[in-house]
Structure 1
């Protein structure tokens, strides 16, 4: 949506099994091409805090600000991934006891796997809280674009990042809340993507008519005495 007048410029429907983050970069590109937007920065909620989006924004020279996403909590009594420190110079993770988890392989989803040495882990005093693996081996994964994700996460803590994230809540989130509360966005009224897309387009048109009417009828601000 437009940040000045809150005019909705795009609405897109996906199957429930497709997460919003999957189509985000394609929709961003379409907006830039269709309207000639020169996007310098974007504010996104935590659902879009992925390595793929972070890398895509950097490739487009766009600064991204994403909300904080809580990592998946481990089983009670087990150590978190954050207890392990990544060392770029060795491309490995260092455990609390000082062992280096070396690079092992990269899976088809783009995650690099770092594995500990079971011979060392078997005598470690923290083994019970580190892994329940029968082979006494702890594995840590890191996406190949994790560096981009970390840089994007750091933007959230900067003064300009906080301002952009606040602006996002004041614009697109407010418009979406209006769509849910007043225009039937809480539920899909029809079956099939095409019909639901029509519902969303009609709701967006109704919202835009109200926004445009308010914009063209708003009188000039009184001069300061």
Structure 2
């Protein structure tokens, strides 16, 4: 706390470096196992920087900024979600996606998994999704039959 946040450091995608508020470059150093690229400053340059106390606290005077390997994609998704069309679509989420999850949780036993292990949980999720899809189809066919759009066949009456 009290230090510069990451957004104060400017990323140059063309050169693959970060630039600190004092305009010093932080070149790429390494990528860790979690997929974060590390950009580290030169301690010799940072040692005499007037913004050092706002930038980093370690004794070695090195600032490390991390950037995920998928950060470009994450930024694209974030900008798309914050666009006017993205905001409009996101408002629809409560009527579509969240409603489906709530239905699975309340009506189809999705609050708790009945069995342990990934294959068993996957099977329960797929079965729940299949049941929800069958319910949607039955309701849709019922609406079509009531409107008189399609003749009721024996197969549709069975649903």
Q: What TM-score bracket applies, with the shorter chain setting the length?
A: 0.7 to 0.9
Q: Could you say which residue in structure 2 is the equivalent of 1:140?
A: 65
Which residue pairs with 2:138 in the alignment? 213
TM, length-normalised to structure 2: 0.74
Q: Per the alignment, do residues 191 and 90 of structure 1 end up closer, same or farther by CA in structure 2, a change over 3 Å counting?
A: closer
Q: Deviations over 1:66-119 (max 9, x none)?
A: xxxxxxxxxx22321111111234432121222221223344554432211212
Which of 1 and 2 has greater Rg?
2
Alpha-carbon separation, structure 1, partners of 2:58 and 2:71 = 25
Q: Which residue of 2 aligns with 1:92?
A: 17
Q: CA RMSD in A?
A: 2.6
2:92 matched residue in structure 1: 167
Structure 1 residues 172 and 99 mapped into 2: Cα distance closer, same or farther (>3 Å)? same
Distance 2:129 2:34 in 1: 36
Q: Which residue is equivalent to 1:153?
A: 78
Whose helix fraction is larger, Structure 1's or Structure 2's? Answer: 2
* Partner secondary structure for residue 120 of structure 1: helix
* Aligned residue in 2 for 1:182: 107
Alignment match, 2:129: 204
- Return the TM-score normalized by structure 1: 0.55
Q: Mark the CA change 1:121 to 1:195 in structure 2 (over 3 Å): closer, same or farther.
A: same
Give the unaligned 5+ runs of structure 1: 1-75
Unaligned runs of 5+ in 2: 149-159
Q: Matches of 1:188 and 1:164 in 2, distance apart?
A: 31
**More relative contact order, 1 or 2 (CA 8 Å, 6+ apart):** 1
Using the alignment, how far apart are the partners of 1:201 and 1:137 within structure 2?
A: 50
Helix, strand or coil at the partner of 1:209: helix
Which residue number corresponds to residue 114 of structure 1? 39
C-alpha spacing 1:141/1:170, structure 2 compared with 1 (3 Å): same
SS of corresponding position for 2:82: coil
Which digits, 9 at most, give the CA deviation of each residue in 1:39-83, with x for residues without a partner?
xxxxxxxxxxxxxxxxxxxxxxxxxxxxxxxxxxxxx22321111
- Which residue matches 2:152? none
| The 10-residue stretch of structure 1 (130-139 or 98-107) with the greater mean CA deviation from structure 2 | 98-107
Task: Provide the C-alpha distance between the structure 2 equivalents of 1:212 and 1:89, rounded to a whole number of angstroms.
Answer: 51
Q: Cα gap change, 1:150/1:123 in structure 2, threshold over 3 Å: closer, same or farther?
A: same
* 4+ residue segments displaced more than 6 Å: none
Instruction: Tell me the residue number matched to 1:195.
Output: 120
